[in-house]
Amino acid sequence: MITFRAPGRVNLIGEHTDYNAGFVMPAAINLSAYTTITPRDDRQLIIRSDNFEDEIEVDLDDATNLAARNHWSDYPIGVAVTLIRAGYQLRGAHLEIKSEVPMGSGLSSSAAVEVSVACALAANSDLTIDRKELALLCQKAENEFVGARVGIMDQFVALFGEERRALMLDCRSLEYKLLPVPESVRLVVCNTMVNHALASSAYNERRAQCEAGVKHFAKHLPHVKALRDVTLQDLETYGRGLPEVIYCRCRHVISENARVLAAAEALERHDLQRFGQLMAESHVSLRDDYEVSARELDVMVELATGVAGVYGSRMTGGGFGGCTINLVDSEHVENFQRTVAEGYEQATKLKPEIYVCEASKGAEQTDI
Ligand code: ADP
Ligand code: MG
């Protein structure tokens, strides 16, 4: 019997850049999913989760015929099926999943489950799969089996995250850089507790607008394959012919990529003030140029910005609700929580959930 742990994550900066082949900067957090695996002599996978009541049985010889059924087990089964489809031979096993990562709160409980399950299945079947491939297989499971159009960020940082480090990822090349997050800083996630229904249609619309932008710039600059390839100078020179709204969408993505690079430099210099400033600029850009914020997110950021010990605050995740990420000095965290929770409740009549996190290590075998 062995156990694998894989963490949730929060994105510090670099929003809506992943599908533009750009840069993101998440950190793995100290909330994890755990999968304990015990070998079986037969060809069955038995999967249980502490967080749900039922137990799922999968015949490994029949697994590739399975399809998602909108059930929690789609994620672990998707991982098993994707490993098999990639040519890996799995052995029968009993899997027990439990997780501290709150579900659907923007901390990527799904990638935590996928990665812990993938590591457990690989070890149980004596497979050596490198971490990059594991990340890609877990993403594929979520894209193709579960049917969620997600980027590589969550799975990647769940595998490559390190203690007291943020991870800047180039979503095109999958090159990455680990950057120091001082021990005195907490990554505080504030959940607005709203999720406006707009999200998926608006997401598709933003993607289409980015593609329209790429088409426009490629006419002038043949090397442009994604907005990642367009500089702020190019935007000035060639962007004027674009419809206003497309221009603004492009400006967000292009400036956000530049902000991630600047944020990485700031962390390398231990310059948290500068990092916080870039977080604030990111929020404004997401609010005004990309138009994916929500009143509740703006209220939460505004409340946080005035509080002692706060370096920066911005919405994190796709937008239209969900969470903010706040970089807060550990000595001021208690006061921060109290002040923001009270202010938010007064302004919205909603009780926020607040998770105080630290940048933590990626997936590993562990004692439970
Ligand atoms: P998140 O932002 O938390 O990743 P998702 O909707 O992407 O939200 O993923 C949540 C889904 O992941 C759950 O509905 C469930 O199917 C699966 N999941 C998360 N945690 C667990 C768990 N502990 N046990 C089983 N399934 C889980
Ligand atoms: Mg998810």
pLDDT digits (tens, 9 = 90+) for 81-93: 999 999 999 999 9
Ligand 1 neighbourhood includes 109 CB (under 6 angstroms): yes
- Lowest-confidence region among 140-144, 197-201, 311-315, 356-360: 197-201
Evaluate if residue 77 carries a pLDDT over 90: yes
Does 288 qualify as catalytic in the annotation?
Answer: no
- Give me the chain's average pLDDT, please: 97
3-state secondary structure of 308: coil
Q: Which of 93, 41, 36, 97 is nearest to 63 (CA)?
A: 93
According to the model, what pLDDT value does residue 198 have? 73
- Ligand 1 centre to CA of 110 (Å) is 4
According to the model, what pLDDT value does residue 197 have? 76
What does CATH list as the number for 185-357? 3.30.70.890
Atom of ligand 1 nearest to the CA of 74: 16
According to the model, what pLDDT value does residue 358 have? 98
Determine which residue's CA is closest to atom 27 belonging to ligand 1: 72
pTM: 0.96
Ligand 1 neighbourhood includes 81 CB (under 6 angstroms): no
DSSP 14: -
Please write the tens of the pLDDT for every residue from 115-167: 999 999 999 999 999 999 999 999 999 999 999 888 999 999 999 999 999 99
What does CATH list as the number for 2-181? 3.30.230.10
Evaluate if residue 106 carries a pLDDT over 90: no
Please write the tens of the pLDDT for every residue from 247-278: 999 999 999 999 999 999 999 999 999 999 99
According to the model, what pLDDT value does residue 46 have? 98
DSSP run (H or E) holding 314: strand 310-316
Please write the tens of the pLDDT for every residue from 232-241: 999 999 999 9
Atom of ligand 1 nearest to the CA of 101: 20
Ligand 1 neighbourhood includes 108 CB (under 6 angstroms): yes
According to the model, what pLDDT value does residue 200 have? 78
DSSP run (H or E) holding 23: strand 23-39
Average pLDDT, integer, range 10-21:
97
Please state, in angstroms and rounded to a whole number, the distance separating the CA atoms of residues 162 and 142: 24
Evaluate if residue 368 carries a pLDDT over 80: no
Percent of the chain with pLDDT over 90: 95
CA angle 244, 249, 251 (to 5 degrees): 90
According to the model, what pLDDT value does residue 112 have? 98
Please state, in angstroms and rounded to a whole number, the distance separating the CA atoms of residues 55 and 206: 39
- Ligand 2 centre to CA of 108 (Å) is 4
Q: Where are the domains of the chain?
A: 2-181, 185-357
Please state, in angstroms and rounded to a whole number, the distance separating the CA atoms of residues 257 and 342: 34
Ligand 1 neighbourhood includes 8 CB (under 6 angstroms): no
Determine which residue's CA is closest to atom 9 belonging to ligand 1: 110
Adjacent-strand bridge partners of 365 = 4
